[in-house]
A and B are shown apart, each in its own frame.
Chain A
Amino acid sequence: MLDTETIELFLQHAHRRIEGWLIEFEEKLDEGLVELPLLESARAELRRHMYVEEKLVFPRAEHKFKEVVALLLEGHGFIWDAAEKLWSEAHRQQDIGSLKKSTQALARLLAIHSAEEDMGIYPDLLDLLGPAASAELLRSCSVATAPQDWVCSARCATRPPTI
């Protein structure tokens, strides 16, 4: 976490990192390579980012942005599905064409979702929470990690039980 970072920038930067890894992954696909570490980085950051939002950010913003938060949580579910589909296809060494299609589908969902968050709720966090609480939220977010078995709220009800 940089000293100059705000909660708004912290969350936006996570989006840019995820997008960056996906772009690189797709560029490698164009070269005929399936670079799993790039996808793993994107997936890990995406999970952590969703976790941070669902556990720390959204609960603090929900009272003002109830409908927006509901829509964003729903969006997490679709992104979750697309990311898991891509992850599973990449591990099964699916053909490059299919992987590219799945990468683009995920990137499209992320672009829409990121635009909604980056331009919508994030810039209002500072005003909504005040300087002290937003700085505290930034500290909490920057050290938070998603538990191994964490599933986003839109998908946890449909998840098969762990044996």
Chain B
Amino acid sequence: MNEEVGNAPSELTVRARIAAMLPRKSGELVFEAPWEREVFGMAIALCEKGVISFDELRWRVVAAISAWERANRGQEDKFRFYAFWLDSLERLLLERGVLKDSELKVGRRENQSD
């Protein structure tokens, strides 16, 4: 992914555009756990390296949030924004063949034991 957005009148960088989309508290990005920051960082790095497209990732995240919203309407379940990033990123990487299911399982096991 190029750093500059070609036709954007303000010539905003992709990072600046992404940063404007994310939840903040007192101006700072909100990460409730270290893994959220890691998922976010990993997603951005993969997009910038061109492994996945950010447009595809963001729409996956939106679809996942919308499905969850419909299923949980009227409930008070906690909304974990970056859980949708993680889930969408995993699925995308599996589909692209970047990640194997077995590798994902190992990664999950390792993270659980941390």
* Residues of A that sit less than 8 Å from B by CB: 4-6, 8-9, 12-13, 16, 19-20, 23, 68, 71, 75, 78, 105, 108, 111-112, 114-116, 118-120, 122-123, 126-127, 131, 135
Q: Are A6 and B79 touching (Cβ within 8 A)?
A: no
- Asked if residues A131 and B12 are in contact (CB atoms below 8 Å), the reply is no
A-contacting 9-mer, from B44-52, B65-73, B105-113: B65-73
Given known pairs A78-B73, A115-B65, the reply for A23 and B25 (CB within 8 Å) is yes
On whether the beta carbons of B7 and A131 are closer than 8 Å, the reply is yes
Q: Could you tell me the distance between the alpha carbons of A26 and B36 in the complex, rounded to whole angstroms?
A: 24
Q: A116-B65, A131-B7 are in contact. Are A108 and B58 (CB under 8 A)?
A: no
Q: A8-B17, A123-B17, A131-B7 in contact; A115/B12 too (CB < 8 A)?
A: no
Residue of B nearest to A120 (CB): B62
Q: Are A131 and B9 in contact (CB under 8 A)?
A: yes
Interface size class of chain B, counting residues whose CB lies under 8 Å from the partner chain: 20 to 34
Whose C-beta in chain B lies nearest to the C-beta of A101?
B76
Q: How far does the alpha carbon of A9 sit from the alpha carbon of B21 in the complex, in Å? A: 8
Q: Knowing A111-B23, A111-B79, A114-B23 touch, does A6 contact B58 (C-beta < 8 A)?
A: no
Q: 6 closest A-B pairs (Cβ-Cβ)? A: A120-B62, A118-B21, A119-B58, A4-B10, A12-B20, A119-B21
Q: Judge if B59 is at the interface, Cβ distance under 8 Å.
A: yes
Residues of B within 8 A of A (CB): 7-10, 12, 17, 20-26, 55, 58-59, 61-62, 65-66, 69-70, 73, 76, 79, 81, 84
Distance of A37 Cα from B29 Cα, bound (Å): 25
Contact A112–B10 (Cβ < 8 Å): no
A19 touches B65 (CB 8 A): no
Q: How far is the CA of A20 from the CA of B23 in the complex (A)?
A: 10
Given known contacts A5-B10, A112-B65, A120-B59, is B17 in contact with A19 (CB within 8 Å)? no
For A20, A75, A112, the residue with the greatest tally of chain B CB atoms inside 10 Å of its CB is A112
Please indicate the chain A residues that have their CB under 8 angstroms from the CB of B59 in the complex: 119-120
In the bound complex, do residue B7 and residue A115 qualify as a contact, i.e. CB atoms below 8 Å apart?
no
In the complex, the answer to whether B10 meets A19 with C-beta atoms within 8 Å is: no
Pair B25/A115 contact, Cβ less than 8 Å: no
B residues near A111, Cβ cutoff 8 Å: 23, 79, 81
Contacts A9-B20, A115-B61, A115-B84 known; list 13 others, CB within 8 Å.
Answer: A4-B10, A8-B20, A19-B23, A20-B24, A68-B62, A75-B69, A115-B23, A116-B66, A118-B20, A120-B58, A120-B62, A122-B21, A123-B21
Q: Give B17's nearest chain A residue, CB to CB.
A: A123
A71, B73: Cα distance in complex, Å: 12
A115–B10 touching, CB < 8 Å: no
